[in-house]
Chains A and B, each alone.
Chain A
């Protein structure tokens, strides 16, 4: 069964304190791994897509990496505005290749 697990569930950081969020996945054949940001009361906002092990993507203070079993979202010198829930999702090869299988998310709080 295709599955995505994110850890930790919640993370509190001081402004400027770098850390990483983990997304472990089990999928029959990975078509793509996605990171989304979700603010309270809003819909998920796309951040990155990763397709193959070894791939890395960066955007401002965020950097996503991918291995054959997991992905990391590295947050460098976070600011309070980075506070949000970060969602990881995978797409698998199969009959419905558009389906996103989501993890439960990591809620990040950055204190000034």
Chain B
């Protein structure tokens, strides 16, 4: 199993550009989520999904969209990038919502100029 994979590893955007961060898992996990990690802030939940076709907002959802058309994939879209979105983004998955162990991907480092 590859686990949780994320692409790209690193991306530079200009303000106003859009892009999609990819996340995939091959463990047949129902629960997937996106976090951002900023210095001094810890990891914060952006969006999450409890299964295909079901998504909801987390703590810091503004400026981000998600969709979940398959169990395996959970892309995160930035519609109009802003410097405040410069961060490291992590995707995580678990078998189900709740106390199941959540496995994190390797992260995408995003720089918005």
Interface residues, chain A, with chain B CB atoms under 8 Å away: 4, 31-32, 34, 36, 41-46, 49, 51, 87, 89, 91, 96-100, 102-105
Contacts and interface: CB of A to CB of B under 8 A. Distances in A.
A98 B43 contact: no
Contacts of A43: 4, 90, 104-107
A91 B99 contact: yes
Contacts, number: 66
Contacts of B64: none
Contacts of A31: 98-99
Contacts of B106: 42-43
Can you list the 8 inter-chain pairs with the closest CB atoms, starting with the nearest? A43-B104, A98-B97, A32-B99, A102-B42, A102-B43, A44-B104, A104-B42, A97-B98
A44 B90 contact: yes
B45 interface: yes
B61 interface: no
B58 interface: yes
Interface in B11-45: 31, 33, 35, 40-45
6 contacts: A43-B4, A43-B90, A45-B104, A91-B98, A97-B98, A102-B35
Contact of B40 (A96, A98, A104): A104
A51 to B, nearest CB: 7
B71 to A, nearest CB: 15
Contact of B41 (A49, A91, A97, A104): A104
Contact of A46 (B41, B59, B102): B102
Nearest to B42: A102
Contacts of B98: 31, 91, 97-98
Interface in B57-102: 58-59, 90, 92, 94, 97-99, 101-102
